[in-house]
Structures are given as C-alpha cells and as structure tokens.
A and B are shown apart, each in its own frame.
Chain A
Amino acid sequence: MPKVTYREAINQALAEEMRRDARVVVFGEDVAEYEGSFKVTRGLLKEFGPERVFDTPISEAAIVGAAIGAAIGGMRPVPELMTVNFAYVAMDQIVNHLAVMRYMFGGQVRLPVTIRMPGGGGHQLGSQHSHSAEPLFTHVAGLKVVYPATPADAKALLKAAIRDDNPVIFLEHEGLYNSSGEVAEGLEAGRIGEAQVLREGSDVTLVAYGAMTHVALEAADALASEGLRAEVIDLRTLRPWDQGRVADSVARTHRAVVVEEAPPVCGIGAEVAATITERVFDRLDGPILRVSGADVPLPYARQLEQACIPHAPDVVRAVKRLMQGAW
C-alpha cells in the first residue's frame, strides 16, 4: 500500500469528491491561489477552476453563513477555516445557525456542509493560536464532529463527511499534517460514528482521538514492555461517538483512561467517563481517569507549552495508578 501523508490524504479526499460530485465546492481564506495556509488544497484551483475553488475575505462568520446558504441552494460546500482558533469568530453561524436550522425549520432543509479546520497545540503559537476546540463543537446537537488520527482515516472520513447530508465539523491536527501512513489505493468513504480498536489488550482501555491516539499507542508500547496489555481505541468521531465499542471494551478490561488534548472541564473525557459509568459501572475496577490538556490558555515558552499537552509517560503514570488502586 502506498504511504501518504495526512495532508496528502485530505487533499486526495477533496479532489476525489470534487471529481465525483460537481456540487462540491471549496472556499476559504487563501485556499485557492495560495493553495491553503497548510497547503492542504494544493492543485485544486488548477484542476477545478475558480467557480468551485475560491478565496474569500477574512470573514469567518460569513464563510460559514455562505456555506449554509449554498447548501440550501443545492451545493455541497467544504469551506476551510484557516484554523480552529478563528472558528470562534464564526461560532454564531456554526452553533446558532448551521446546527439548529434543520431542527427549527421542522426538517425542511438539509445542510451538507463540511467545515474543515486545523487545530491543536505544540508549535509555540501562543494562547490565541493553539486551541483544542473539539469539546465546544461536540457539545452542540445538530453537528457531527470528526477528528481523524491517521492518513487513511482522514481520507475515508473526509469523503464520508462530504457525502453526509448533515453539517460536519472536520478537525485536522496541525501536528499530524506531515505524519504518514498507508492509504489503500481507491480507499472508499468511511463511516462516521465508528471508533476503531487499534490494539487489543485486556488490562486497561485507553480511549483517545486525534493526535492523542498516537500518544495512547506510545503509552501502550511502554506498558507492554512492563507486561501490561492496554487496549487502544481511537474514537475517530466525537459526535456521534461510538459508546458501544468503548463500553464493550471497558466491560472486558475493567479499567479506562481517556486521553484528550483539550482541557478536562466539561470535556470529551468527562463525557466518555460518565457514559462508561452509566453503561458498565458494575464491571469497573476503579475510577475512569482522564489525562487531559492543562486547564490554561497555551503559553508560548516551549517547556511550558509541552507541560500542557498529554504525553505517553503521563498516560503510563495514570494507568499504573489505576492498576495499583492508587487513585
């Protein structure tokens, strides 16, 4: 199988979906002539022309609003927001328009909008450019939220998102763009809402998503060298999320640690933990622990920033505490 980067995989998904369906359009800041601030939209303008790939002013709210209107008008818009940090400027359009309109109009509109946006920390970009905004989007009924960890999932799930008739927030991790992985020739659309067990194990379940999936895998390696078998689940989709697969796993391992890059308060880990207790409480041998991003705006200084992001040793420590009953 050919090795492809996360960036290339997303680019392939965009191009293939645009070839497949003439209603798919891509727009956003610097996506056309400049080919994307992360070069994800490279070559699209050349192949599909300015009618379907076009630059917008720096107007995030209007970019999302335009996507909503275009979707009602019969297109399948895939706007790019330069990064999640700028989505905050468009939050009213995302949360109070895109997410609610189908419902409040009694099902009369379909909104096949996929908003792509890179995010996450780790690049010393400071407090205003390093957010992990996924819990905010995941909180919102009416949206679907996808956060792939690998090139293959990025490609398959972006294809699925574009074909989905609902609004999808498609999160890409800035730190993963250059990562590579195998992507099957002719890979088809994946299924939104399905988690994947990346490694089987019987001692503890590590639940992760996005860049944290790799942290969880690294932790599982380290634990294996000490004889502890961790099962690693990549959620892949945060809304709707695969409660069944996670609950089944924890019912077998009796322990769970959630690894999330975003801060813990009202976060993904909290949701996963609460659901596990509701579904398989009597199978648990201890509390569900969270390894989360620090609950501060991300600082610039390298050491400080790194201290905000979960790393494999943090996960290993959490698992050991759990195994030793030392929570």
Chain B
Amino acid sequence: MNKKELMRAYRQMYLARAFETRVAEQYTRGRIGGFCHLYTGEEAVAVGALWHLRPEDYVLGSYRDHAYYLIRGGDPRKAMAELFGHSDGCCKGKGGSMHFCDAGMNFFGGYGIVGGMCPIAVGLGLAAQRLGEKRVVVCFFGDGATNQGVYHEALNMGTLYQLPIVWVCENNQYAIGTSVPRSSAVESMSRKAAAYGMPAETVDGMDFFKMQSVSERAVARARAGKGPTFIEAKCYRYRGHSMSDPATYRSKEEVEFWRQRDPLPRMRAAIRHDFEAEDREFEEVEAEVGRLLSEAVAFAERGRELPVERLYEDLYVDEAAASPTSAGPA
C-alpha cells in the first residue's frame, strides 16, 4: 500500500473514533436517547475488514454500527441527525443509534438482536450467488453472538451453499459484563467456527494491516465463488458496553494493556516507519475530520423530528395496509 492509501485508512479510523467522541458529548447533553454503543477502540477491525470491498458489496452488523456506516461512505451529517431522531437522519429518525442503514451504499443495517443479522447475511449471499452477481457480503457480530442458536444455523448454511460471505467476529472479549471465558465453552472463536468447514483465523484486530490482509484473502475467496471465510478479530472496546455502562467489571491493568495497543497511534507509527510523514500531515487529516463533524453536529441541531402525522409511513409499501385505528394513541 502506498502512503496515500495508508493516510486514507488512517482517516477512516480517525473519523470513526472522532465521531464517537462527538456522540458521547451529545449523548451527555441529552440530545441523543436510547441505547448507544460506541466503537471506540475497534476501528481497525471495521476499516481493515471493509478495505477490499467494492460499492456493490453488502455490509451488515450489530447495533455498534456507526463505524460501518461512516467507513462505507455514509454522510456524518445524516448519521448525527439520525441519533438526534431527526427526519433527515439516514433512517428518518426511525432507527436511531442501533439501526443505521443506507440502501444506496448497500449497507443493510445495524441490528439490535444479538446474532439476528447472521441469517440475513446468508440471504444476501444467496441472492448474489443465484442472481449471478459478483457481490461479497461482510457480516459483523460480537463474541456474544456466537452463543446464539441462529448464528450456528447461519454459519452452517453459509458453507452448505458455498456463499460469498466474510464472517467477522469482533471479539472484544465481553458481552456487556460477561467475559468470553464465562460464557463460551470454547474461548477461541475461530476454533468454535471451525466445525462449519471454512477457513477460520484469529487475527489482531487492533492492527489495521493484519485485518486488511486477512480480509483481502477472505474477500477474494468469496468473490471467486469459493465460499465463506471466518475472521476472529481480537479487539477491545475502550468504553463501556453502551453509554450507560461505566464498565467497572474490567481491571485498570487490563484496560491499560489494551490502551497500549491502540490502533490509531499504531497506524501513525507504521506510516512513519515506512514513509516520510510529518505530524502536520496527521494534524491536517484530523482537522479536516473535525470540521466535518462540527458541521454534522450543527446540521443535526438544525433538524426536526418527522411530524407525528407521518407515524404510519414506511410500514408497508402500500401505505393503505397500515391500520391507524381509532384505538391507536396517535
């Protein structure tokens, strides 16, 4: 990869990180409601996993979804507006933090049910395969999802039909407050997946280079019609499970251990190691992203909620099928 590409990867990671910082601020101010899960610390996983995708490829994942949307090219203004619950949000304010979506860029969502997106990835893969399209599906989920029944059904089907799927397990080692050793009979997610007959590998998810190289192979394999690949990305979230979790169940030493492996400084050091790069160059990227995010917040502040009269819209394609009965409060 040349310097320009690496700077682009750094920018994506920085954007994902800095966006979450703004979200935390706005959440604390009470402008964002509900559950809100930040991706802080896991940026290298998504940026690396999505690095080799083309616009036609499908992406979906869990509720920790702001980063996927932004990395795929989503508009930070629409992302922030969605969090504010405004009509110019990416889902008109009907989705919220956990349910970002942008059909135009083939990002099909943020899902709030642990593991629930896995069979949907199977379906997207099926459609691509049966319609003779060369699309690849990248499906993100957490370590906790590997304990769900439907996850196993989906992995089995993916290999059975040799579908073009890259399964990316973000093993951040916790499902809310329950650590992997306390919830999974097999601690290695790639070993756990091995039963489903596909290449399965564990990589350092705090390292962009490792992530992008393993995903390069996985995406190529999927695109060549050779079936799915499983990637376990060992990573760490620096914040609590969601905005309401102070994360007291993790030791200071453990957090510090993973802070030492922060993917952003590592990326900066790597770029510096391979190329001439001055502080100023990183600062410029960060300032540009900062302006973009300030604009996003300002945009969200100007927005409005969808009027209540439009509550029943988007339920059915033929709007008349919705039944706003006299019994409804609206």
Cα A62 to Cα B118 in complex, Å, equals 8
Q: Are A59 and B157 in contact (CB under 8 A)?
A: yes
Q: Which residues from chain A contact B322 at a C-beta distance below 8 Å?
A: 141, 240
Q: Which one, A93, A97, A109, A142, contacts B316 given CB within 8 A?
A: A142
**Residue B9 is within 8 A (CB to CB) of chain A in the complex:** no
Q: Are A62 and B130 in contact (CB under 8 A)?
A: no
Flag the segment in A2-10, A36-44, A71-79, A115-123 that touches B: A71-79
Cα A69 to Cα B120 in complex, Å, equals 4
**Residue A165 is within 8 A (CB to CB) of chain B in the complex:** yes
Total A-B pairs, Cβ < 8 A: 160
Cα A62 to Cα B152 in complex, Å, equals 9
Greatest chain B CB density within 10 A among A66, A69, A105, A109 is at A69
Min CB–CB distance B227 → chain A (angstroms): 16
Q: Are B150 and A65 in contact (CB under 8 A)?
A: yes
Cα A107 to Cα B306 in complex, Å, equals 13
Q: Which residues from chain B contact A52 at a C-beta distance below 8 Å?
A: 130
Q: Which residues from chain A contact B157 at a C-beta distance below 8 Å?
A: 56-57, 59, 62, 66
Greatest chain B CB density within 10 A among A52, A66, A239, A278 is at A66
User: Known: A65-B154, A102-B315, A193-B321. Is A72-B123 also a contact (CB below 8 A)?
Assistant: yes
Q: Which residues from chain A contact B325 at a C-beta distance below 8 Å?
A: 275, 278
Q: Which residues from chain B contact A275 at a C-beta distance below 8 Å?
A: 325
Q: Are B125 and A69 in contact (CB under 8 A)?
A: yes
User: Known: A97-B111, A240-B323. Is A75-B315 also a contact (CB below 8 A)?
Assistant: no
Q: Are B150 and A75 in contact (CB under 8 A)?
A: no
**Residue A326 is within 8 A (CB to CB) of chain B in the complex:** no
Greatest chain A CB density within 10 A among B89, B93, B124, B127 is at B127
Chain B positions 97-128 with a Cβ under 8 Å from a chain A Cβ: 99, 101-103, 108-109, 111, 113, 116, 118-128
Q: Which one, A23, A106, A144, contacts B94 given CB within 8 A?
A: A106
User: Known: A75-B130, A105-B101. Is A59-B156 also a contact (CB below 8 A)?
Assistant: yes
User: Known: A61-B153, A62-B157. Is A106-B91 also a contact (CB below 8 A)?
Assistant: yes
Q: Which residues from chain A contact B323 at a C-beta distance below 8 Å?
A: 239-240
Which range contains the number of B residues in contact with the other chain?
Answer: 35 or more
Cα A193 to Cα B150 in complex, Å, equals 33
What are 28 A-B pairs with beta-carbon distances under 8 A? Answer: A52-B130, A62-B119, A65-B119, A66-B122, A66-B123, A69-B125, A70-B126, A70-B130, A73-B58, A73-B126, A93-B119, A96-B113, A102-B314, A103-B94, A105-B95, A105-B99, A105-B101, A105-B103, A105-B108, A106-B90, A106-B91, A106-B92, A106-B93, A106-B101, A109-B101, A166-B316, A278-B326, A278-B327
The 7 closest A-B pairs by CB, nearest first: A69-B123, A65-B119, A73-B127, A107-B314, A62-B153, A59-B153, A106-B91
